[in-house]
Chain A
Amino acid sequence: MSTLTSPSAEAAPTGIRALAKRVTPQLDTLPTAAAVVIFVGMIVYGEAAYGRIVQFNTLSNLLINNAHLVILAVGLTFVIVTGGIDLSVGAVIAISSVAGVMLINAGWNPWLAMLLMVLIGTAFGTVSGILIQYFHVQPFIATLAMMFLGRGLASMLSTEPERVPDDSPLRSLGEQLKIYDGPKVNDIVLTPGVLIAAAVVAAAFFMLHRTRTGRTVYAIGGSEQSAALMGLPVAKTKMSVYIISGSLAGLAAVVYTARLGSAQNITGIGWELDAIAATVIGGTLLTGGAGFVLGSVVGALVLGLMNVLITRDGGIPPEATTIITGGILLVFVLLQRAVLARRRE
């Protein structure tokens, strides 16, 4: 009946297909693996060239100083895996930290103020999500608008650095806890901020890889239309990723302010781009559908370590930092393009 077209030869699995079968699952992890390789390479190079890199205190400081960036990068991983973007996180940090510190200084319960700092981020994320999902505004534009809004509100609150009282519980989140007392100052030191970041990473990993919501995030990144036709809760999930990204930006504001001890309206300018860079370096495709939260952590640490190495070198002008960041980013984006091209075959 159905021999209208001439029957083609039986499709037997050929050598090439068998090979593709073996290579493809690893193509997804290739950029992340590359990020790990680069991170290790940077450590080895730094140790050889400058010394005192593979030391407890250096690595501890790397974590302490980049805890907020790790949290931001985790939030952006959610958004970028769906194929979206969130440009508002840097400005959310500004408004959230300035508002929080001012409330503490005005006599609010510090814990309540900290909760409010997170909720400010939640509110920004919710508005972004509504604009994107229900008003069909491009994620780039919607979160850009929220970025200007956040920055503007922070500047309206104050243009002066707002200091946190030293005895405030907020500061205690930035307090250094000595875990292991090494010789001289070579100690393993952590802050509650680092622990918060670690908890965020673990929760995000669980959510993305072990829950249906997480898998829906990946499905939306693969094809939003298909996800909808499969009956997955697309609207709810897209809202969730922006709410998660906003809330984590609020949390990052708490962690950062706790470490620094003050808040200012110009805090966090360009951090959204650092966080995007960390995510991309960690192997998340900007087109969505592929990426790992642990990769984003490595990406954030690559950026942090680069700053350490530049400081240690002393010969590289600080202005060159952004050029080097750009260079690393370019390498990773080119790598991703190669992966995508392979996948399309």
Chain B
Amino acid sequence: MPESLPIVEMVGISISFPGVKALDDVGFRLFPGEVHSLMGENGAGKSTLIKALTGVYKIDEGEIRIAGEPRRLGGTADAQSAGISTVYQEVNLCSNLTIGENVMLGHEIKGAAGINWRATHRAARETLEKLGLGHLDPKQSLATLPLAVQQLVAISRSMVAKSKVLILDEPTSSLDANEVEQLFTVIRRLRDQGVAILFVSHFLDQVYAISDRLTVLRNGRFEGEYRTEELDRARLIATMIGKDIATLKSLDAKASRRVRSDEPPLYSAKGIGRKGAISEVDIDLHRGEVVGLAGLLGSGRTELARLIYGADRPDSGEVTLDGEKAEITTPAKALARHIALSSENRRDEGIIRDLSVRENLVLAVQARRGWARPLPRREQDALVEKYIAALGVRPADPERPIRLLSGGNQQKVLLGRWLATEPELLILDEPTRGIDVGAKAEIQEYVAALADDGLAVVFISSELEEVVRQSDRIIVLKDRRKIAEIEGGHGVSADSIVTIIAEDALGDERADAVVREEVTS
């Protein structure tokens, strides 16, 4: 492949946002007929690079060459005319229109009397057939298709635009295994037709299954371009987080420095569960310990967190706090017992966009006091000052509307909101999602410091590496049940958790096979 000319060549790309250099002198090459994965932690600059290539962001420095020609891309339509199509994590089609129209929108075939619908639908069918979707009726409404198939329709759309470059940004995050396989079949077919495919996914297995080459970014910088077979997972992760493997090991060891005390657990649940959300789980949480919840998307991490907090009412099991039986069935009861949850959905369930940093920060304290007893302004200011300083919120302006802060700083304010309620048990659901690397490291350090101070912390992240680094103990979830509980420290890595999950899946398959045999015999 690399013998031919690259279809996309990005040279010396730099993009700055206020206060952050999102991309710093990054290079990227994409060849026809290859699947190329862009790798990096959250905030490494993957999405910025993609947005530069699709014309959403203007580049400050550097050059983008498409098929050897320097191009300035001013927007989605511009990128499309340059032959670059993008399929996003969320399906971006119009569900009020038919499948055929969605495939052909903007490229309808015109006849003497305007759009020739018969020819347009025929062209849509041909395009769908090329991707193995010939069974779909182009005249059927898009809304009747499952999400995964809609994703494939979005890909066939880019084929109509005669795209030479297809960008797939986290296309698999809401697909199940069969659907992923279906998607991969389509991707391979396109690759064989000479389309250059840029693939982004946080599932390492998928990256290794589909990619020919990898480009790794870290902190907005180019770390290297590799053939997939010459870079094993451990080295990939090491490159992504910028530590050699030996240092990683020592970091792991450092993370497990906290020793669990012998005192009884702060929180102990026996068989709590909720129908449709998570099956019965036993869980103990100790003071001074970070417990990580690991698992894939939809494995029940958030559901378990909500159950502990009482945001959803458990329909089985019992809970003891410091050995006493407790009923935690509403968030108010949880707050009263010093349990706090910071939601994964920062935008909708976390910050209140138009309120100031101060107002957002005192919200939970105020809620616990009740509206009849407003928190005196002096106490508010003292609280806000304390947490802005402790968490390093920037800019340190309590009266600034929170929507003007970066994601990382918003997250710090939210952390402050819950810390201000003086919790004994703090549940953090995806506290580092979508924030830049610097803020992420600060939050990780702060969480560790909180545990050192004797707080019980539950830490949830979709990045397994992060869970491994942060946690003293890890509860592994899969398909809405607990499949393992492991001590952090030596020998535990993201890979070992992936192995646990994969083995469990294999177990399922074997069990299925046994059942099938029993049925047939």
Question: Which chain A residues have a beta carbon within 8 Å of chain B's beta carbons?
Answer: 1-8, 10-11, 17, 20-21, 24-25, 206, 209-212, 215-216, 218-219, 221-223, 225-233, 289-290, 343
Contact = CB atoms under 8 A, between A and B. Distances in A.
21 contacts: A1-B205, A2-B203, A2-B209, A4-B177, A5-B479, A8-B176, A8-B177, A20-B144, A25-B98, A25-B141, A218-B94, A218-B96, A219-B97, A222-B95, A222-B97, A226-B92, A227-B94, A229-B86, A230-B105, A230-B157, A231-B161
A3 B296 CA distance: 12
A309 B296 CA distance: 65
B512 interface: yes
Contacts of B157: 230
A7 B177 CA distance: 6
A218 B97 contact: yes
Contacts of A233: 77
Given A228-B76, A230-B105, A231-B106, A24 B92 contact: no
A5 B296 contact: yes
Contact of A21 (B97, B101, B137): B137
B144 to A, nearest CB: 6
A5 B105 CA distance: 35
Given A5-B479, A206-B114, A229-B88, A221 B177 contact: no
Contacts of A3: 177, 502, 505-506, 509
Contacts of A11: 146, 178
Contacts of B161: 231
B106 A225 contact: no
Contacts of B77: 231-233
B115 A230 contact: no
Contacts of B509: 3, 6-7
Given A3-B177, A215-B108, 17 more contacts: A1-B206, A2-B206, A3-B502, A4-B505, A5-B176, A5-B478, A5-B479, A6-B177, A20-B144, A210-B114, A222-B96, A226-B92, A229-B88, A230-B92, A230-B93, A289-B94, A343-B141
A342 to B, nearest CB: 10
A209 B161 CA distance: 21
A216 B141 CA distance: 17
A343 B141 CA distance: 10
A170 to B, nearest CB: 33
B105 A232 contact: yes
A222 B98 CA distance: 11
B435 interface: no
B92 A225 contact: yes
B94 A7 contact: no
Contacts of B478: 5
A2 B181 contact: yes
A231 B76 CA distance: 5
A6 B479 contact: yes
B140 interface: yes
A336 to B, nearest CB: 13
Interface string B194-207: 00000000010110
Contacts of A5: 176-177, 296, 298, 478-479, 505
A289 B105 contact: no
Contacts of A226: 92-94
Contacts of A1: 205-206, 208-209
Contacts of B88: 229
B180 interface: yes
Nearest to A230: B105
A236 B4 CA distance: 40
A208 B96 CA distance: 15
B97 A24 contact: no
Interface string B471-504: 0000000110000000000000000001001100
A206 B112 CA distance: 12
B113 interface: yes
B192 interface: no
B446 to A, nearest CB: 32
B184 interface: yes
A225 B76 CA distance: 12
Contact of B144 (A24, A210, A231): A24
Contacts of B502: 3-4
A228 B78 CA distance: 12
A310 to B, nearest CB: 36
Nearest to B206: A2
Contacts of B206: 1-2
Contacts of B95: 222-223
A5 B504 CA distance: 9
Interface string B354-374: 000000000000000000000
Contacts of B234: none
Contacts of A221: 96
Nearest to A20: B144
A185 B101 CA distance: 50
A7 B144 contact: no
B390 interface: no
Contacts of B94: 218-219, 222-223, 226-227, 289
Interface in B110-148: 113-115, 137, 139-141, 143-144, 146
Contacts of B298: 5
Contact of B501 (A2, A4, A216, A289): A4
A290 B509 CA distance: 45
Closest 3 CB pairs of A and B: A210-B114, A222-B94, A289-B96
Contact of A2 (B92, B115, B177): B177
B508 interface: yes
B178 A223 contact: no
Nearest to A11: B146
B108 A212 contact: yes
B262 to A, nearest CB: 37
B146 to A, nearest CB: 7
B470 interface: no
Contacts of A8: 176-178
A25 B115 contact: no
A3 B478 CA distance: 12
